[in-house]
């Protein structure tokens, strides 16, 4: 699993290495990771993906100086389509955002334009950037799931291994009836580890599907099996999506992970058979 972990593309990253922080605007700090690395492992072709979706990032520590040298702060929303050739490596993203700290910009629009230009160049597709006042960011208002969402974390399961086991899903469908059901499920127990640094990544994962009923206990055991798994956020979500489709052959499927922030950034991958934009919702952990 994750046989690409020592690829030359990853070996050249600053992630996991000692670095100095730069406080002067420097777009050259950004580094890209080809999405093809883990998609090859999942047998996904970039021109024929089985899903649509996007990666939504929120930046909580963005600051710059106005023309008079006064600091300005904002919360940033970044959106990257899942079809982009590259994802932005998170440590380089943090270093890049820090480079705004002591740089002067004439307006918030100038900052947005710089962010769009640099991030689009790194992802090799059009990135979307929106900057919010730290007291008025509707996208980050606490908005939980609707009452139909079922939390599967109370399932009484016995866990004997914490290593990834996709084959657990071979028994995930609870019955063999031909009738389809529609369910909205959430688990707050998803934990994986950074592919390079092995630091823990924590998330709430939302699974909305239409198809034969999924056994909640088996699904929970599968999600817990990521606990010692090493992969980037986006890659974990695509693996979950592909595994559910492989073993369950669902008519509709949406997988959305809200990860907790690290270093002022959180990453929230969203993949779906039919929905292109992630819903606005988050828990207290985000």
Instruction: Write out the catalytic residue numbers.
Output: 194, 201
181-193 and 150-151 beta bridge pairing: parallel
88: left (phi over 0), alpha (psi -120 to 50) or beta: beta
Instruction: Round to whole Å and give the CA distance between 136 and 132.
Output: 7
Q: Closest Cα to residue 41, out of 242, 275, 203?
A: 242
Burial 158-187 (b: 16+ CB within 10 A, else e): eeeeeebebebbeebbeeeeeeeeebebbb
What residues form DSSP beta bridges with 46? none
The CA-to-CA distance between both ends of the chain, in Å, stands at: 29
Cβ neighbours for 40, distance < 8 A, ≥ 6 positions apart:
4
């Amino acid at each position: 699993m994750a046989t690409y972990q020592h690829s030359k593309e990853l070996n050249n990253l600053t992630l996991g290495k000692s670095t100095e922080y730069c406080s002067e605007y420097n777009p050259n700090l950004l580094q890209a990771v080809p999405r093809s690395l883990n998609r090859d492992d999942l047998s996904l072709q970039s021109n024929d993906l089985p899903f649509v979706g996007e990666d939504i990032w929120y930046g909580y520590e963005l600051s710059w100086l106005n023309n008079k040298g006064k600091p300005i702060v904002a919360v940033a929303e970044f959106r990257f389509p899942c079809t982009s050739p590259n994802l932005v490596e998170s440590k380089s993203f943090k270093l890049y955002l820090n480079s705004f700290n002591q740089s002067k910009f004439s307006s918030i629009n100038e900052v947005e334009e710089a962010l769009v230009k640099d991030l689009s160049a790194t992802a090799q597709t059009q990135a979307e950037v929106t900057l919010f006042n730290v007291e008025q960011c509707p996208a980050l208002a606490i908005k939980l799931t609707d009452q139909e969402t079922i939390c599967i974390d109370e399932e009484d399961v016995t866990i004997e291994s914490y290593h990834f086991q996709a084959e657990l899903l071979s028994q995930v469908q609870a019955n063999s009836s031909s009738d389809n059901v529609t369910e909205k499920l959430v688990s707050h127990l998803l934990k994986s580890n950074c592919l390079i640094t092995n630091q823990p990544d924590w998330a709430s994962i939302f699974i909305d599907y239409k198809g034969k009923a999924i056994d909640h206990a088996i699904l929970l055991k599968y999600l817990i099996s990521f606990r010692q798994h090493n992969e980037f956020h986006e890659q974990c979500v695509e693996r979950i999506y592909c595994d559910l489709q492989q073993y369950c052959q669902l008519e509709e499927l949406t997988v959305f992970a809200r990860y907790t922030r690290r270093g002022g950034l959180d990453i929230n991958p969203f993949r779906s058979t039919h929905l292109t934009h992630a819903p606005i919702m988050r828990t207290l952990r985000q």
